[in-house]
Amino acid sequence: MMIAGVTLVAVFALVSISGPSYAGGGKDLKSAVAKVAEVIKKGDKDGAAKLAKDTAKGIEDIGDLMHLFKPRTKGGLGVGSKKVVSNDAKDGIEAMIRDFARGDGIAGAGKISDSLQETGYWIAAMAEISIAKGWDKDQGKKTKKNWNMWMVEMKDAGVELATVSAAKGNTLKAVATKVNNACNNCHSVFKD
């Protein structure tokens, strides 16, 4: 009985120190995304890929990562680390990208350019982590090739959003449309 108890404690200890668990998302996953985003911002592609791979190991369900596109009030990252949008429903990456792709809210984007830059790098980081997580098994249109293609598109568009965050009008709309299209194309195949 004592041996079984010691073995159980040892197994629990190994599981606990083996890496982070992001089940249900949470602050740890948000923090990990922010760290990957900082490495991407520095231009360290290899470092970002390595950190994303380490982060992906702790993700059980890719939905936990995708949930971070939701508004801050629903457990998402929001738009930038400081709340800059007064409407809680609009304080989410998904809502911001959708609105900018339609041309809504672009006139006020210059006032939040720092938050948009940060958000662009977050988008790129979530795509990098999604690439590292990968798609396990080809099933019809749900293929590794399609997964990687749309995640690379999202990563590139996220970096582009970060770099044009101070831009106005058509430039910001065009980049937001790229992010939105990558999301919609992927969701049309992979989202259940």
pLDDT tens digit sequence for 151-187: 999 999 999 999 988 766 678 888 889 989 888 888 8
Q: Label residue 23 by pLDDT band (50, 70, 90).
A: low
The span from the CA of 44 to the CA of 38, in Å, is 9
Name the average pLDDT for the chain.
84
- Residue 18 pLDDT exceeds 70: no
DSSP3 helix / strand / coil % (the chain, rounded to 5): 70, 0, 25
Q: Phi first, then psi: give them for residue 38, nearest 5 degrees.
A: -65, -40
- Residue 24 pLDDT exceeds 60: no
pLDDT tens-digit series, residues 109-152: 888 889 999 999 999 999 999 999 999 889 999 999 999 999 99
Task: Please tell me whether residue 45 adopts helix, strand or coil conformation.
Answer: helix
The span from the CA of 186 to the CA of 28, in Å, is 25
- Return all residues near 129 (Cβ < 8 A) that are at least 6 apart: 32, 33, 36, 52, 55, 56, 59, 65
- Residue 108 pLDDT exceeds 50: yes
Q: Which two tokens stand for residue 21?
A: 């668990």
pLDDT tens-digit series, residues 48-83: 999 999 999 999 999 999 999 999 999 999 999 888
- Return all residues near 82 (Cβ < 8 A) that are at least 6 apart: 115
Closest CA to 62 of 118, 119, 132, 15: 132
- Per this entry, what is the length of the chain? 192
User: pLDDT at position 2, please?
Assistant: 47
Q: Label residue 25 by pLDDT band (50, 70, 90).
A: low
Q: Name the maximum alpha-carbon separation found in the chain.
A: 70
User: pLDDT at position 71, please?
Assistant: 92
The span from the CA of 171 to the CA of 173, in Å, is 5
The span from the CA of 113 to the CA of 168, in Å, is 10
